[in-house]
Structures are given as C-alpha cells and as structure tokens.
C-alpha cells in the first residue's frame, strides 16, 4: 500500500528531525567564534567567564553577549544561531516582539443629541446640545396637533415642526407615548423610561426619550425631553494605516470630518500572542515560541509512544506466552488475575502516585505500561495456544530444549503477526493518551513541551487560535500516518490476501 509506505517514511523522518531538535530550535548558538577560538554551546557548557572574564561560572546569556561590544561588526567575533533561535523553555519579554509600525483607526458615525426642558404648558424653556439640528428653540410651544411647534410622526413624512407646520396642515404634537409620560411626571407619579420615534423636517428619523422618574416632595416645574438622531447605517469603519504619513483607503472619512467619531489604537503585546515575524506559529501564554515547543513535543510524544509500546508488548508477550504454553491451571489463574488487574482504575492510580512521587516521564511510562499490556496478552495467548501442539514444538520438547528456548527461539518468531500489526495502532493510542493526560494536567510535569499542554492553554485563552490549530494538526497527521502504517502492515500479513480455492 503506497500510502502506508509514504506514511512510514513521514513518521521516520519526523522522528529523525525531532531528535535533532537542539540543532533546529535553541536559545544557544550552534557555533561561536570568539578571540580566535571556536565554541559549540549546543554540545558543551561554557561558563560566562569564558567570554567576559568576570569570573562567573554560570550559564551565559548569549543574546546579551551577541548585542555587546565584544561581538560588534568588525570585531572578528560572531555567533551562528539555529533556524529557530528560541528554546522551548525560553520566555520572551514583550520588547523582543517586533510589530509593524501601524495603527488602527476606527470611525463611527456620530449621533446628534439635544434636549429640551418643557414647562407645564409644553413651552420650551431652554435647550441644550444640537438643538438647531432638531429645529428646537426656547419659546416654542409643542403642546398639540397642528401647533406651530408640532412634531411629525414617522408615518407622516411631509409633516414638520417649528414654523414649517401650521394649524390644519398635517402637523402633529409630541408622540402619544411622550405626552403620556409627561402627564405622569407632572402628576408626580413614578414612571419608567419612554422612547418614541419621530421624523425630522428633512425626513430623517429621530428618537424622543424621557428618563425614569421617581416621585418628589413637589411636582417638577420642568420636564426634560431628549432627542437623538437615528442613524441609518451606524456601522463602524476600520482602517489600518502607517503611524507616520498615514494613507486612508477610498471611502474612509479623514480624521476631523464632522459627524464622525474617531479612535486610534496600536496593537500591544500580551501573551499568548499571534504569529509574527520571527515566531511563525505564535507564542504561548508564557511568551515561549510555539514552533520550538511543537518540535520538542514531537520528540517527546514519539519517544513516549515507542517506549510505551515496546514495554507493553514485552509484558503482554511474556504473560500471553506463559499462559498459552503451559495452559491448564496456569492459564486459568492467569486469566483471573488479568480480569482483576483490568478492573483497577488507571487514572486514579496515576493521580495517587503522582501526588506522592511527583509527575515525571518515567512514572507516567511505568504506570501506563503496567496497565496497557492486557490487550496484547490475549492475542499472544491465542497464538501460543495454537503453536503448543504443533510438531516442531513437540520435537523441541522431546530433544530436551529448555522452556525459554522453546518459547522465544522457536514459538515467538511464529507468533509475531499480532505484534507487528498492532504496533502502529498501539503507537497512535499511546500518543493520544499522552496528549489527553497532559491536557487534563496528569501527564508530564510543566514546563515540558507537550501538544496536550498547548491545547490546555487554548482552553484558557479561547482567542488564541494558533494554540488550537497547530497542535491539533500535529496530532492529526501523526496519528493518521500511524493508522496508515498499521493498515499497510495488516494487509501485508493477512493470509487471506494470498489464499485461493482449488
């Protein structure tokens, strides 16, 4: 199967690249030339004293050294950095992130607002805001339909107010809801907020509003009515322009245009942060490069998966071989022990041991291995039960070969089909289990790079799409390649493929 062949080389190549992770992603340079001598920090530890002569035997800050005078251009000293010059545990400060020199300008249409204080005779005592825009003026009376101060309802587009509306010409008073609200307030009774639509003389819509009212010791002398323009398209417009010499796109109002409110904002660095130049996969919640952590997590996942599969297959093969070869009471007691062992809660045992001994790679590997061998032992038991009565096994017993040689030299090579075919599927399962445990917080100790740990950060920061996308893609393609390899191996060892009836 061609896809199984290419998937096999994909997994092998990915693991080979991950084994060289220190040469690809590291916060230490690959090669340092200093004062005529060569240094390889990625392979060997050099104290700070080797480059500064200050007597400190601690790990040097190579970035600070590279920015110092000793490594200035023309000094003959230089550093060669890896492809990703950031380590998986290195937390960067916001000052290291280079952002484009741009600002975001947002323009929002400005809604005009005015207010009018009415006395008991519906005469405007005073106005505030854009009263002229609404045709409001002190001394106007707005007390009845068709009055010189009558307001138009939305269903009467030709009606107006002020001097444009004469008695009997279709003018209207205040909307009925506003007039009822005024009556409640003048009667000094509690009333809630009131909103009603009116139409301006030029046909545009506006809102008339009354604020909530609570009874007072005496009725109010004046009641305030607020008018605000109803915008037809209040959507905001956004443009990203250069901070120096900005050029605005066509249709965007220039700052200072009347009727618009403008706000400007410049992007600030806060972790987790989106992909930028120098960090193509973004940064996590601690300011660590996601690309570096993804690469190291690949090595951790594949190493854990292969070590776990080898350990579980060794235990399962041993248990199944002993049951199948001896049979009888050994087989019966072995099966009962497996049923009891299988009923133990794996996750609770892992939590208990982790709380006592602390989380570690070896603890996770050991605990999961002693619970994961049961499945393969069933298949190996069946294979050895089938082989124990075959002539070559009987012949080996007759000539007096020891049991271990019969089991592992003669019977095991003839029982490898389940091991070979289940290996890729078990590897996929182990990688998925590790990612799940890290996601739940029961896996490897922080800050160990892990795909599950990145997904756990993504749950805490839902806006950080890069913390979901890239670990999910890595898990998907790695597990898909493992399934393809397993499918190819199963097809290659399937005897029915070559069988025929005669």
Phi, psi of 448 (to 5 degrees): -60, 130
CB 374 within 8 A of CB 338: yes
The most confident of the ranges 23-32, 245-254, 486-495 is 23-32
Mean pLDDT, to the nearest integer, of 75-91?
92
Mean pLDDT, to the nearest integer, of 143-167?
42
Q: Which helix (H) or strand (E) holds 320?
A: helix 290-326
Specify the pTM.
0.74
Domain boundaries, the chain: 27-81, 113-229, 290-496
Evaluate if residue 496 carries a pLDDT over 80.
Answer: no
User: How many whole angstroms separate alpha carbon 67 and alpha carbon 59?
Assistant: 17
Convert 181-205 to b/e letters by CB count within 10 Å (16 or more is b). Answer: bbebbbeeeebeebebebbbbeeee
Q: Strand runs (DSSP E) across 96-142, as ranges?
A: 102-109, 113-118, 124-129
3-state secondary structure 426-460: HHHHHHHHHHHHHHHCCCCCCCCCCHHHHHHHHHH
**Residue 283, class by beta-carbon neighbours within 10 Å (0-12 exposed, 13-18 middle, 19+ buried)?**
buried
Identify which of 338, 371, 482 has the alpha carbon closest to the alpha carbon of residue 437. 371
Q: Topology of domain 113-229, per CATH?
A: Beta-Lactamase (3.30.450)
Report the pLDDT value the prediction gives residue 162, as an integer from 0 to 100.
Answer: 38
Q: Which helix (H) or strand (E) holds 480?
A: helix 466-493
Assign 501 a pLDDT band (cuts: 50, 70, 90): low
DSSP label at residue 219: -
Assign 232 a pLDDT band (cuts: 50, 70, 90): low
- Residues of the chain with pLDDT > 90, as a percent, come to 51
Evaluate if residue 99 carries a pLDDT over 90.
Answer: no
Q: What architecture is the 290-496 domain classified under in CATH?
A: Orthogonal Bundle (1.10)
Report the pLDDT value the prediction gives residue 464, as an integer from 0 to 100.
Answer: 94
Could you report the per-residue pLDDT of 41-67, keeping only the tens digit for each? 999 999 999 988 888 889 998 988 998
- Dihedral of CA atoms 359, 272, 92, 439 in degrees, nearest 10, equals 10
**Residue 50, class by beta-carbon neighbours within 10 Å (0-12 exposed, 13-18 middle, 19+ buried)?**
middle
């Amino acid at each position: 199967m061609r896809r199984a062949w290419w998937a096999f080389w994909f997994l092998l190549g990915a693991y080979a690249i991950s084994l060289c992770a220190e040469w690809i992603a590291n916060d230490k340079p690959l090669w340092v030339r200093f004062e005529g001598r060569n240094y390889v920090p990625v392979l060997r530890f050099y104290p700070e004293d080797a480059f500064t002569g200050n007597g400190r035997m601690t790990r040097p800050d190579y970035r600070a050294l590279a920015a110092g005078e000793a490594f200035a251009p023309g000094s003959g000293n230089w550093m060669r950095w890896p492809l990703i010059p950031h380590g998986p545990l290195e937390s960067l400060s916001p000052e290291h992130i280079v952002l484009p020199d741009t600002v975001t300008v947002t323009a929002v249409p400005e809604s005009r607002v005015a207010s009018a204080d009415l006395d008991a005779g519906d005469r405007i005592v005073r106005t505030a805001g854009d009263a002229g825009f609404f045709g409001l003026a002190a001394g106007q009376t707005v007390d009845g339909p068709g009055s010189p101060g009558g307001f138009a309802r939305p269903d009467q587009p030709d009606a107006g107010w002020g001097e444009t509306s004469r008695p009997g010409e279709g003018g209207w008073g205040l909307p009925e809801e506003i007039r009822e609200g005024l009556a409640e307030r003048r009667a000094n009774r509690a009333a809630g907020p009131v909103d009603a639509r009116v139409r301006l003389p030029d046909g545009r819509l506006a809102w008339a509003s009354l604020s909530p009212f609570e009874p007072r010791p005496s009725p109010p002398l004046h009641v305030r009515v607020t008018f605000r323009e109803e915008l037809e398209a209040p959507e905001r417009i956004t443009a990203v322009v250069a901070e120096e010499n900005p050029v605005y796109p066509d249709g965007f109002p220039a700052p200072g245009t009347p009727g618009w409110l403008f706000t400007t904002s410049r992007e600030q660095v806060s972790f987790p942060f989106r992909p930028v130049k120098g960090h193509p996969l973004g940064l996590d919640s601690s300011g660590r490069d996601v690309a570096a952590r993804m690469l190291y997590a690949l090595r951790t996942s594949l190493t854990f998966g292969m070590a776990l599969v080898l350990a579980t297959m060794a235990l399962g093969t041993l248990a199944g071989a002993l049951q199948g070869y001896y049979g009888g009471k050994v087989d019966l007691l072995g099966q009962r022990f497996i049923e009891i062992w299988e009923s133990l809660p794996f996750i609770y045992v892992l939590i208990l041991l982790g709380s006592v001994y602390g989380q570690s790679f070896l603890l996770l590997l050991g605990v999961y291995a002693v619970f994961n061998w049961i499945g393969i032992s069933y298949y190996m038991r069946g294979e050895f039960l089938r082989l124990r009565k075959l002539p070559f096994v009987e012949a080996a017993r007759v000539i007096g070969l020891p049991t271990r040689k019969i089991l592992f030299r003669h019977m095991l090579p003839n029982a490898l089909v389940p091991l070979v075919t289940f290996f890729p599927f078990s590897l996929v399962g182990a990688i998925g289990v590790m990612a799940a445990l890290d996601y739940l917080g029961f896996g490897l100790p922080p800050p160990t790079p892990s795909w599950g740990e990145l997904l756990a950060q993504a749950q805490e920061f839902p806006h950080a799409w890069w913390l979901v996308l890239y670990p999910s893609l890595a898990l998907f393609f790695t597990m898909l390649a493992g399934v393809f390899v397993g499918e190819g191996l199963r097809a290659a060892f399937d005897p029915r493929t070559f069988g025929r009836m005669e």
